[in-house]
C-alpha cells in the first residue's frame, strides 16, 4: 500500500489536530439541536401548509402536523425559526473557522460520486473509516446545508413580503417564493430519509454523533484528499 510520505508536504491538505475526534462536542450539540429544531420547523410547516395547500389534493393529516391548528403551527414555526437560525449560524461559523467544511466536504470528484452510488445500490456501505466521508455523503451534506440556507431566505421572503419586497421580486413573486419554500422542505425531508436510514444501517455512525466517534488520524485525512488508486471505502 502506498503511504503518503508527509502530509505537510502537500500544502492544500488541511492539518487536522492529532487525536481529535470525528465529531467534536460542539458539532454534536449543534447536530442534535438542529435535528429537533428541523423536525419542529418541518412538522409545524406542514400544519401551516394545510391552511392553503400548494399542491391541490395533497394534504397532511393531523398525525403529521405540529400544532393543533393553524395558529399554533404558526407559533411553533415562528419560535423554532430563532433556534434554527442561531444554531445554524453557529454551525456555519464553526465549520468555516475550524476548517471542518474544507476538510470533510471537499473535494468532490464526479467519478467518486458515481462509484459510491453504485456501491450503495449494491448495499455496500460498510464504511470502514467513518472519519472520511465518501463522495455521496459530501454531496448530500452540502445539499442539505444549502437547502437550509434557502429555507431561511425564502422563509424571510414570505414572512415579510412588503418589507423585503426586493427579495420577493428576485425569487419571482410571493407565490413562487412560497413554492420554493415548500420545495426546499421536500429536499430536506428527502435528505432526512436517506440520512436516518443510512445512520441506522451503519450504527457506529450514529454512535459517533453521540460519543464523538474514532479519533481522526493525519493519514486518513491525507488519504481523503489524495486518494490512492481504487476507492477509499
Nearer CB in complex with other proteins: 24/161: 161
Give the side-chain half-sphere CA count within 13 A for 149: 9
> Helix 135-159 vs helix 110-121: angle between axes, to the nearest 10 degrees?
100
Name the minimum Å distance from CB 193 to other proteins.
Answer: 8
Peptide bond into 107 cis (omega under 30): yes
Helix (H) or strand (E) holding 183: helix 174-201
d(CA 121, CA 104) in angstroms, rounded, equals 23
Nearer CB in complex with other proteins: 63/123: 63
Nearer CB in complex with other proteins: 53/118: 53
Name the minimum Å distance from CB 68 to other proteins.
Answer: 4
Hey, is 22 helix, strand or coil? coil
Cα–Cα–Cα angle for 188, 192, 194, rounded to 5 degrees: 120
Name the minimum Å distance from CB 63 to other proteins.
Answer: 4
Say if residues 195 and 103 touch (Cβ distance below 8 Å).
Answer: no
Nearer CB in complex with other proteins: 22/42: 42
For the chain, count helices (H), then strands (E): 9, 0
Nearer CB in complex with other proteins: 13/37: 37
Name the minimum Å distance from CB 10 to other proteins.
Answer: 43
Contacts with other proteins by CB under 8 A lie at 48-54, 56-65, 68-72, 74-76, 78-79, 82, 159-163, 165, 169, 174-175, 178, 193
Give the side-chain half-sphere CA count within 13 A for 222: 16
Name the minimum Å distance from CB 168 to other proteins.
Answer: 8
d(CA 198, CA 205) in angstroms, rounded, equals 9
Nearer CB in complex with other proteins: 4/192: 192
CB atoms within 10 A of CB 53: 12
Name the minimum Å distance from CB 165 to other proteins.
Answer: 5
Nearer CB in complex with other proteins: 72/141: 72
Name the minimum Å distance from CB 65 to other proteins.
Answer: 8
Amino acid at each position: 500500500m502506498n503511504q503518503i510520505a508527509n502530509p505537510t508536504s502537500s500544502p492544500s491538505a488541511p492539518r487536522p489536530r492529532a487525536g481529535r475526534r470525528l465529531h467534536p462536542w460542539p458539532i454534536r450539540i449543534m447536530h442534535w439541536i438542529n435535528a429537533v429544531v428541523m423536525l419542529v420547523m418541518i412538522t409545524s410547516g406542514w400544519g401551516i401548509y394545510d391552511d392553503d395547500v400548494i399542491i391541490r389534493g395533497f394534504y397532511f393529516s393531523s398525525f403529521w402536523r405540529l400544532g393543533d391548528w393553524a395558529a399554533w403551527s404558526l407559533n411553533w414555526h415562528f419560535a423554532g425559526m430563532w433556534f434554527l437560525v442561531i444554531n445554524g449560524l453557529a454551525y456555519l461559523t464553526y465549520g468555516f473557522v475550524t476548517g471542518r467544511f474544507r476538510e470533510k466536504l471537499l473535494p468532490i470528484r464526479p467519478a467518486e460520486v458515481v462509484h459510491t452510488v453504485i456501491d450503495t445500490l449494491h448495499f455496500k456501505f460498510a464504511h470502514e473509516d467513518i472519519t472520511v466521508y465518501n463522495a455521496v455523503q459530501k454531496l448530500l451534506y452540502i445539499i442539505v446545508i444549502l437547502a437550509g440556507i434557502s429555507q431561511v431566505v425564502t422563509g424571510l421572503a414570505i414572512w415579510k413580503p412588503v418589507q423585503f419586497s426586493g427579495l420577493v421580486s428576485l425569487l419571482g413573486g410571493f407565490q413562487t417564493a412560497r413554492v420554493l419554500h415548500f420545495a426546499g422542505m421536500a429536499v430536506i425531508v428527502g435528505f432526512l430519509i436517506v440520512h436516518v436510514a443510512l445512520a441506522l444501517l451503519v450504527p457506529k455512525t450514529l454512535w459517533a454523533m453521540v460519543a464523538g466517534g474514532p479519533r481522526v488520524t493525519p493519514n486518513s485525512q491525507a488519504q481523503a484528499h489524495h486518494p490512492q488508486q481504487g476507492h477509499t471505502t
